[in-house]
Amino acid sequence: MAKSSRKSAARSAPRAANAKPLAKPSRGEAEEAVRTLIRWAGDDPRREGLLETPSRVVRSYEEFFAGYDHDPKLVLARTFEEVDGYDEIIVLTDIRFESHCEHHMVPIIGKVHIGYLPDRRVVGISKLARLVEVYARRLQIQEKMTAQIADALQEVLKPRGVAVVVEAAHQCMTTRGVHKPGVSMVTSRMVGAFRSDARTRREFLSIIDMAGQRGIPNA
């Protein structure tokens, strides 16, 4: 992300309850923290191969966590269109995302499937992908991200219902701890018609299942 956009973009970083916002550390402080972690890992940050690593890591963090600089509701607010009476489910499948788990700060990589039942208004598909990105590029837990995507869509677009399913592999499970490669976690959030009407929910689940041959059990 362009550095110049960081100042003007809406700040929506969550903070601890009752806590004042913490000042953002300087780039130099962030790089120093990386040197500390290199030493903690057991290496010498003065070693030639590691000299540029702190600045690279800090630049990577700007990319990984760019979501804090963007307001997800503004992402959606910009493009509403009238649709001539289209009132069937709209589904976008397999939106790839990369996020980081807030417990270990290692990658969560997966796919998001979004469905909604429009009520006069629709949103461009690129905006749905962008919405996923704004939430993914933060420290996350999958359950929270699933709910945030669904709730933002419901709040801004006010459709008759929203369904979000997220499938992801967590590197904190595959590369450390219990070391279980190949495990993926599936979370879902059903709102409005997708929650109250089993047929609508089944239609969504069968569409995403057809798209990916996933065998997700119908709810």
Query: Does residue 117 interact with Zn ion by CB under 5 A?
Result: no
> From the candidates 70, 100, 113, 170, which is the catalytic residue?
170
Candidates 48-56, 172-180, 188-196, 203-211; binding stretch for Zn ion (CB under 5 A): 172-180
Amino acid of residue 119: D
Query: Does residue 104 interact with Zn ion by CB under 5 A?
Result: yes
Asked if 69 contacts 1 with a C-beta cutoff of 8 angstroms, the reply is yes
Query: Does residue 101 interact with Zn ion by CB under 5 A?
Result: yes
Nearest to residue 114, comparing CAs of 65, 66, 148?
148
| Nearer Cβ to Zn ion (124/177) | 177
Q: Return all residues near 47 (Cβ < 8 A) that are at least 6 apart.
A: none
Is residue 100 flagged as an active site residue? no
| Nearer Cβ to Zn ion (53/171) | 171
Kindly state the tokens that stand for 175.
Answer: 């590369």
Please tell me whether residue 210 adopts helix, strand or coil conformation.
Answer: helix
Query: Does residue 172 interact with Zn ion by CB under 5 A?
Result: yes
Candidates 57-65, 71-79, 167-175, 187-195; binding stretch for Zn ion (CB under 5 A): 167-175
Is residue 101 flagged as an active site residue? yes
Residue numbers 11-50 binding Zn ion by CB under 5 A: none
Please tell me whether residue 189 adopts helix, strand or coil conformation.
Answer: strand
